Amino acid sequence: MPRVLIVDDSPTAREVLATILGSDPELEVVGFARNGREGVAQVKKLKPDVVTMDLNMPVMDGFAATREIMIEEPTPIVIISGADRAAEVETAMETLRAGAVNLLLKPVGPSSPEYDARAKEVVRVVKAMAGVFVIRRRRHLMPKQADQVNAVSPPDYLTKPHRIRVIAIAASTGGPPALVKILGALPTDIPVPVLIVQHIADGFMDGFANWLDEVISLDVKIAKDHEPLLPATVYFAPQDRHLGVSQSRIRLSDASPVGGFRPAGTHLFQTVADAFGCDAVGVILTGMGNDGVEGLMKIHQAGGVTIAQDEASCVVFGMPRAAIEAGAVDSVLPLDAIGPRLDQLIENRSSETRR
């Protein structure tokens, strides 16, 4: 049975979380902490399977506590945060980079009409994250330091010319820090657009895109319907709308969820395959479930390049594993190698264009 530690300075928030988590017979709340320093000490003492972590706390905030826990006693940490302040969104994203595995909105009280849905999501995520393997962080590697990547030589079948005209990416749990690493490795003058579906808690999408726009050199925006695709621009699916393309323009859709998701990676990949065929690259990253697999297969069948993140570098290997097992993946790469591989593919395309 997963054992949970709740870290939050608000007695009300602690009580609400304890009630929600305690309502599930498969979860056990084993302790509480009123600030990050107490949280670090309690993790060492109680050794919980998962921690829920507030961000704004006295003495030591959630970011500092997460960083310390990932150094001293690596444990899956779910950030429980508000999304109404830009500074808190930025801190939440940096905390994911520091090693937290997921992000949720703070649950509302039982009198709210949203209580049941929020409570179910908290239970679902905490149970799922309790089984996630996390790695110890080194103290001298600060999350805000520039990520170092090494060039990787592509296999022979990927050295054949591809006229890459678009990159499409689907990610879920663990996606935000993975995207920072991948997008940060791409050249500032990349001649193609990048389209991304990132599953993220309601209320955080705009803040995540704004934060990412500050930490990488490419232009980052939330996609708008019918706008043209531009090079060196990253387009994120907006909250609760499918992201797709048609004739080199963004096409947003309110169609039904695909496999329970809207936006869905499968919808993005399918429209990219239809519009760009063999000139597309599809990348499936860390995340639970199998969203994106059917769409990635469409890109693969159209002759495009398909890449999956490897198990060792994933927070959750679900989506990449499903794509690999379905035979939809050309290449399985560690996270550090995906950005350089995309750069190689783009350079290959540019060289062919200049000839």
Structural domain includes residue 145: no
User: From the candidates 199, 242, 267, 300, which is the catalytic residue?
Assistant: 199
Structural domain includes residue 164: yes
Gyration radius of the chain's alpha carbons = 20
329 shares a domain with 286: yes
312 shares a domain with 217: yes
Structural domain boundaries enclosing 249: 156-354
72 shares a domain with 16: yes
User: From the candidates 291, 300, 330, 331, which is the catalytic residue?
Assistant: 291
177 shares a domain with 109: no
Structural domain includes residue 265: yes
User: From the candidates 81, 172, 313, 331, which is the catalytic residue?
Assistant: 172
Structural domain includes residue 61: yes
346 shares a domain with 306: yes
262 shares a domain with 177: yes
Task: Give the list of residues 6+ apart from residue 332 with CB closer than 8 angstroms, or none.
Answer: 307, 308, 309, 310, 320, 324
Number of domains in the chain: 2
Identify the CATH number of the domain in which residue 255 sits: 3.40.50.180
d(CA 24, CA 221): 39
Task: Give the list of residues 6+ apart from residue 237 with CB closer than 8 angstroms, or none.
Answer: 196, 197, 198, 205, 223, 243, 252, 263, 268
Structural domain includes residue 137: no
165 shares a domain with 56: no
Structural domain includes residue 140: no
Structural domain includes residue 33: yes
91 shares a domain with 53: yes
**E strand residue ranges, 8-112:** 28-33, 50-53, 77-81, 102-105
163 shares a domain with 122: no
239 shares a domain with 120: no
pTM: 0.90
Structural domain includes residue 143: no
Is 199 considered catalytic here?
yes
* Final residue in a domain of this structure, among 129, 145, 169: 129
For the chain, 355 residues long, give each residue's pLDDT as a single digit of tens. Answer: 999 999 999 999 999 999 999 999 999 999 999 999 999 999 999 999 999 999 999 999 999 999 999 999 999 999 998 766 667 888 999 999 999 999 999 888 888 998 999 999 999 999 999 989 888 887 765 444 333 333 344 454 454 456 899 999 999 999 999 999 999 999 999 999 999 999 999 889 999 999 999 999 999 999 999 999 999 999 999 999 999 999 789 999 999 999 999 999 999 999 999 999 999 999 999 999 999 999 999 999 999 999 999 999 999 999 999 999 999 999 999 999 999 999 999 876 544 444 4
339 shares a domain with 247: yes
190 shares a domain with 86: no
Is 291 considered catalytic here?
yes
Identify the CATH number of the domain in which residue 120 sits: 3.40.50.2300
- Bin 196: left if φ > 0, else alpha if -120 < ψ < 50, else beta: beta
